[in-house]
Structure 1
Amino acid sequence: MSLFFNAYPLARTALFSLDAETAHELTLRRLQQVYDCRHTRRLLLPTTQSRPRTLMGLSLRNPVGLAAGLDKNGAHIDALAALGFGFVEVGTVTPRPQDGNPKPRLFRLPRAQALINRFGFNNLGLDAFIANVRRSNFRQEGGILGLNIGKNAATPIEEAVNDYLTCLEGVYPHADYVTVNISSPNTTNLRALQGGDELTTLLSALQQRREELADRHGRFVPLAVKIAPDLSTEQIDAIAELLPRFGMDGVIATNTTLDRSKVQGLPHADESGGLSGPPVHELSLAVIRRLRERLGPDMAIIGVGGILSGAQAREKIEAGADAVQLYTGLIYRGPALVGECVQAV
C-alpha cells in the first residue's frame, strides 16, 4: 500500500478540523501537487489494479469508478484517476457558469459517516469544463471518462431540455460516456424531469441529438441517466420502461437522498440538501434490484451510494449493478477504499 494511503487517517484528523468545503478543496490541491511531481507520484500513489470489465461497450480497467461531484470542473482528472479507479466521472457541468447555493453548503455527519450537500451545481461552465477535460491525459492513456451534464438554476424547468442538449453537444467529442443528471435535489424542480411526459420529452430529444452527433463525429458515445433513491416502485418501473425505448445505454443508481430517517437527531441532520453515505446504501440497493428486474440483463447499471467497504461494493454488484462508484466513502475511508473495492468485486 502506498504512503499516501497509509497517511490518510492522520490527514483526515486535520482535514476534519476545517470547514468541509475548505477541506475538500485543499485535498484536491494537495493531491494535484503529489501527482504533478513525478518522483512523489511514483512513491505515494498506487498502480491501478486490473480487473477488466465491459460497461456500455467500454473496456474498464476495473469496475470501481469515481462518482461525479468530487471534481465538478474536471480540473483534477488525471490526479484522481491515479488513486486506482477503473473509470472517472466528472461534473456536473451546466451551460453557463454559476456560483451554486450560498455557503456553508457541505456538512459532515461523522457518527453516520455521511455528508449533506446543497452545492447546487456550482461550476465554471461548459467552456472551462471542456478546456480542463482536453488538458487531461487520462483518456489518451486508455482510461474511461464520463462527463456529467445538468441544467442551470436560472433556466426554467420547461426549457431544461435546451440546457442538456447544449451540454451534450459540447462534451460529446471529449467523453467516453455522458451522464444525464436529473436527480440532484439541489436545483429547484430538477427531479420533476424523472417523471412521465418530462422524461419522455428529454430522452427523445437526447436520442435524436446523439444520433446527429454520432454522424457528425463518427463515433457513438453511450448515454446514462442518473436517478434518485427516493423514487416509488411505480416511478422506477416507468423509468425502466423509458430508458431502452429511447436508446439509453445505462442508468446510475443513485444520487443523494432527502430521507433523514437514519440520521435523526445528529448534528446537521436538519440541513437542507442531499444526504450521502451509508444511509443511502440500502435505498440504492432497492433501486438497483428493481431496475435489474425490470430491465433484464442487458442494460448497464452503475451502483453508487453509501459504499464504505469492499463488502458494500460487492452488495451493489450482487443486487444487479455492473460497476460501482465512490464519493463519500473516500472522505471517511480515504483512497485505500478504492483498492479494497476492486478486490471485492
Structure 2
Amino acid sequence: MPDWSYQTLFRPILFRLPARIARGLTFQAMGRLSRIPGGTFIIKTLGHVEPSPLLRSDFEGIALPTPTGLSGAVDADGIAIKAISQFGFGFVEVGPVTRSPITSDSPIHIDPASESIIYPCEYENAGEEVILQRIRNPNHRLPQFVRIAPSPRAGPNEAAADLQALFERFAGEPNVSALIVEAVSSRLEDTAGSPIQLFEQLSVFFAENAVTPIRKKPMLLYIPLDLPDTLLQQIVRRANPSIWSGFVIGDSVRAIDGTVVTGRNGREACIAKLHTIREHAIGSPILFASAGVHEPANALALLEAGADYLLLHSGFVYAGPGLPKRVNEAILYDRLAREEAPPSPSFWTNWGWMCLLGIGMMLGGVIAWIIAASSVLLPYDESFLDMARSQVAAINNNLLNFMSHDRITLAGTMLSIGILYYQLARHGLRHGLHWAKTAVWVSCGVGFPSFFLYLGYGFFDPLHAAAAFILLPMFLLAMRNNPDRPNRLPVNLHNSSVWRRGLWGQLCFIIVGASLCIGGLVIAYVGITNVFVPQDIGYLCMSRNALDLANSRLVPLIAHDRAGFGGALLSDAIGILIVSLWGLQQGARWQWWTLLWSGSPGFIAGLSVHFAIGYTDFIHLLPAYFVLVVYIAGLILLYPYLMSKERAHSHVAT
C-alpha cells in the first residue's frame, strides 16, 4: 500500500471506518501479503524502499540500517511487522510491554483536522509472555527495541518491582537489541518526589544487574512528552551515562479524561525537550524523538534540534506507508548537501552509450514510420512473399493499410522507447540512480529477446536483426562500471496539496504503465498464436484461411509485425511503469517532459493511423482511448509537482 494508493484510494475509505476496524483490516491484509510466497518481493517492488548504505549507523554496537524506527504503538499486535519492516525502517520498537495483558474495547478516535490519534488506553498490549514469544520468533531482521512499562495503576514501589521483573525477562534475550524503560511517569504524583524516587531506585538496580555480559543491553530512559520541564531537568542531570545510553522522548499527551493523544501538534514540545536534554544532560546521550513526524520536514527539524534517531507513529497513519522512505531520502539529501558532489562519469564511460541507443531507436522509428506510411513493404518482404506490392494490394484492398497500421504503431513505439532511454541515460544513468538503471535493465531485458517471438513462423527480418546486433553492445557498454550513487537532487519535504495531487498523477501513470504492459503481452501473444482478433477480420473482410490460400506467407509476415509490436510495447510500458513507481520526484522537470515526449509518439502513431486507414472500430480502440485519457490526466496532475520551481530543502516544519 504505497502512498500513491494509500492517499488516493485507501485512506478515504479507511478513515470512514471505526479506527480499530480500519487498523485491523489494513494490518491483516499486509500481514497476509507478506506471508505468501513472493509477498515481500511485491512489497519491495511497489515501494522500492531499499535504503542507501550511507544511512547506516552504529548504536552501542547495534547496526541500524536507517535512523528511522517504527513506534510500537503502530502495530501493537505485531500482525504486519514483516511487511512494515520492508518500508525503510532501521529498527522497530516493541511495546510498551507490561507484566500482564492490558486490553480495551473502547474505540480509538482519529481527528484528521489536527492529524492526531486518541487512544483510550496508552498501555494496551498482550503482556510479557505473548510478546516474549513474538520477540524470540521474529519474522523480520530489524533490531528490536523493547519498551517495558509498569502497570498503569502501580504506585512507585510496585512500578519498580514491575520494571525489575520485566528487565529480568527481556535483558538476556538475544533478539532484544535495547531496552527502553519507563522509569519516569508524568502520571505519578510529584507530592513525595515519587518519579525521582522511582528513577533513582531503578538506576541503582540497573547499575547492579545490567553489567553482566549476557544482560549488557543499551538502556534508554523513556521521557513522557508531557513531563514537566523542571522534573525533566532533574532527571537528565542525575542520569548516569554508564547506565543510560540515551533518552527516548515519547509522543503522547495525557488528557483529563485519561485518554492519550498523539499527533502532529506534539512536535514543538518534543523539540523543547530535545533542547533541554542537550543542555542539562551529562555527556552526549543518544536521543530518540517520536512526536509529530508527519512529513520529512518535521524529521529534519527534530534532527536539527538534537535528535539522533526518529520513531514514526501518527505520521505513519496520516502521511502513509511511504513516509519512512521520504524521511530517509530527506536525511540523506541533507547530509550529502554538505559535501561536494563527485564529478559525473564521462559520456563514453557508460551512460553515453545508452544515449546513443536511444538516438538509434528514434532514428529507426522515424525511418520505419516513413516506410510504413509509403511503400509499407521492404524488398526483403516482397522477396519473402514472392509477390510485389501491387500483387499484395490486389489480394485485398485493405491488406496493405492493415500492415501499415501495424508498422506505424511499431514505429511510434520505437520513438517512445528511444526518447525514454535517452532521458533515462542523461538524467538517471549519468548520476548512478538505481531506479533508472533498473528501468533500463528490465526494459531492454524484455525488448531484445522479443526479436525471437516471431521466428517460429519462419520469417527472419534482417533489418530488425541488424538493429539488434548494433544496439545490444551499446546497452551492455552503458551498464558497465556504473555503481549505484545516491540521489543528490532536492527531495519532497511537505505533505502539500501539490504532493497529494502528484500522487493522483502518479497513480494515473502507474495505470498507464500497467495497462500498456497488459496490452503488450496480449498483442505479443496474439501475434504468435491467432495473429488476428475478430475486429481485424472484420476490417479486412477476409478470414485467415483466405489469406493462407492467397499466399501462405502472408500470415507469418503479419505475425512478425504484431509480435514485434507487442514486444516493443511491453518494453516501453515496463520503462514507464518503473519510472512511475520509483522515480518521480518533486521538481524533477525532466521527468514531466520525458513522460510527455515519450508518450506522445505512441499515441499519435496508434490513433492517427487507425483513422487514416478507416479502422475505427470502437471496441478495438477503446483500450487506447482509456489509456490516453488516463495519460492526459496524469500529465495534468503531475505538472505542478514535477514542474515546480520550488526545489527548496528548508528544514522549517509546517
335-344 or 226-235, which deviates more? 226-235
119-128 or 44-53, which deviates more? 44-53
Aligned counterparts of 1:59 and 1:204: Cα–Cα separation in 2: 29
**Equivalent residue runs for 1:303-314 within 5 Å:** 303-314=289-300
Residue 271 of structure 1 deviates from its aligned partner by: 5.9
Match for 1:4 among 2, 5, 24? 2
Could you say if the C-alpha distance between residues 115 and 206 of structure 1 is closer, same or farther in structure 2, counting changes exceeding 3 Å? same
AA partner of residue 26 (structure 2) = T
Structure 2 gap ranges (5+): 332-654
AA partner of residue 205 (structure 2) = A
Residue 37 of structure 1 deviates from its aligned partner by: 2.0
Could you say if the C-alpha distance between residues 42 and 71 of structure 1 is closer, same or farther in structure 2, counting changes exceeding 3 Å? same
Aligned counterparts of 2:264 and 2:277: Cα–Cα separation in 1: 20
Q: Do 1:183 and 1:190's aligned partners in 2 also have CA atoms closer than 8 Å?
A: no
Is residue 334 of structure 1 aligned with residue 320 of structure 2? yes
126-135 or 116-125, which deviates more? 116-125
Aligned to 1:81: 85
Residue 52 of structure 1 deviates from its aligned partner by: 0.9
CA RMSD of aligned residues (A): 2.4
**Equivalent residue runs for 1:1-345 within 5 Å:** 4-9=2-7, 10-45=9-44, 46-50=48-52, 51-100=55-104, 102-104=105-107, 106-138=108-140, 141=141, 143-153=142-152, 155-172=154-171, 173=173, 174-182=175-183, 189=188, 195-211=195-211, 214-215=212-213, 217=214, 220-244=216-240, 247-258=243-254, 272-295=258-281, 298-345=284-331
AA partner of residue 254 (structure 1) = G
Aligned counterparts of 2:283 and 2:321: Cα–Cα separation in 1: 31
Aligned counterparts of 2:321 and 2:241: Cα–Cα separation in 1: 38
Question: Whose Rg is larger?
Answer: 2
Aligned counterparts of 2:114 and 2:257: Cα–Cα separation in 1: 15
Could you say if the C-alpha distance between residues 70 and 255 of structure 1 is closer, same or farther in structure 2, counting changes exceeding 3 Å? same
Aligned counterparts of 1:175 and 1:241: Cα–Cα separation in 2: 27
The alignment's TM-score, normalised by the length of structure 2, stands at 0.46
Aligned counterparts of 1:281 and 1:33: Cα–Cα separation in 2: 34
AA partner of residue 123 (structure 1) = N
Residue 98 of structure 1 deviates from its aligned partner by: 2.4
Residue 203 of structure 1 deviates from its aligned partner by: 2.3
Q: Do 2:188 and 2:194's aligned partners in 1 also have CA atoms closer than 8 Å?
A: no
Q: Do 2:2 and 2:322's aligned partners in 1 also have CA atoms closer than 8 Å?
A: no
Aligned counterparts of 1:18 and 1:336: Cα–Cα separation in 2: 22
Aligned counterparts of 2:321 and 2:74: Cα–Cα separation in 1: 13
Q: Do 1:204 and 1:246's aligned partners in 2 also have CA atoms closer than 8 Å?
A: no
Q: Which has the larger share of helix? A: 2
Residue 181 of structure 1 deviates from its aligned partner by: 2.6
| 3-state SS of 2:239 partner | helix
Aligned to 2:351: none
Q: Deviations over 1:155-207 (max 9, x none)?
A: 4442111111111121221310011135677xx63999983222111222233
27-36 or 284-293, which deviates more? 27-36
Residue 334 of structure 1 deviates from its aligned partner by: 0.8
Structure 1 gap ranges (5+): 260-269
Q: Do 1:313 and 1:341's aligned partners in 2 also have CA atoms closer than 8 Å?
A: yes
Residue 78 of structure 1 deviates from its aligned partner by: 2.4
Q: Do 1:161 and 1:205's aligned partners in 2 also have CA atoms closer than 8 Å?
A: no
Q: Do 2:69 and 2:310's aligned partners in 1 also have CA atoms closer than 8 Å?
A: yes
AA partner of residue 245 (structure 2) = D
Aligned to 2:493: none
Could you say if the C-alpha distance between residues 4 and 194 of structure 1 is closer, same or farther in structure 2, counting changes exceeding 3 Å? farther
Residue 277 of structure 1 deviates from its aligned partner by: 1.2
Could you say if the C-alpha distance between residues 288 and 194 of structure 1 is closer, same or farther in structure 2, counting changes exceeding 3 Å? farther
| 3-state SS of 2:76 partner | coil
The alignment's TM-score, normalised by the length of structure 1, stands at 0.85
Which structure has more RCO (C-alpha within 8 Å, separation ≥ 6)? 1
Residue 40 of structure 1 deviates from its aligned partner by: 3.3
Aligned counterparts of 1:12 and 1:271: Cα–Cα separation in 2: 28
300-309 or 112-121, which deviates more? 112-121
Could you say if the C-alpha distance between residues 21 and 148 of structure 1 is closer, same or farther in structure 2, counting changes exceeding 3 Å? same
Aligned counterparts of 1:36 and 1:289: Cα–Cα separation in 2: 43
Q: Which has the larger share of strand? A: 1
Could you say if the C-alpha distance between residues 74 and 191 of structure 1 is closer, same or farther in structure 2, counting changes exceeding 3 Å? farther
Aligned counterparts of 1:64 and 1:310: Cα–Cα separation in 2: 11
Q: Do 2:148 and 2:163's aligned partners in 1 also have CA atoms closer than 8 Å?
A: yes
Identity %: 23
Q: Deviations over 1:75-115 (max 9, x none)?
A: 54322212210111111111122224x512x2111101111
Residue 238 of structure 1 deviates from its aligned partner by: 0.9
Aligned counterparts of 2:190 and 2:143: Cα–Cα separation in 1: 27
Could you say if the C-alpha distance between residues 234 and 197 of structure 1 is closer, same or farther in structure 2, counting changes exceeding 3 Å? same
AA partner of residue 94 (structure 1) = T
128-137 or 149-158, which deviates more? 149-158
| 3-state SS of 1:112 partner | coil
Aligned counterparts of 1:125 and 1:156: Cα–Cα separation in 2: 19
Could you say if the C-alpha distance between residues 153 and 282 of structure 1 is closer, same or farther in structure 2, counting changes exceeding 3 Å? closer
AA partner of residue 243 (structure 1) = A
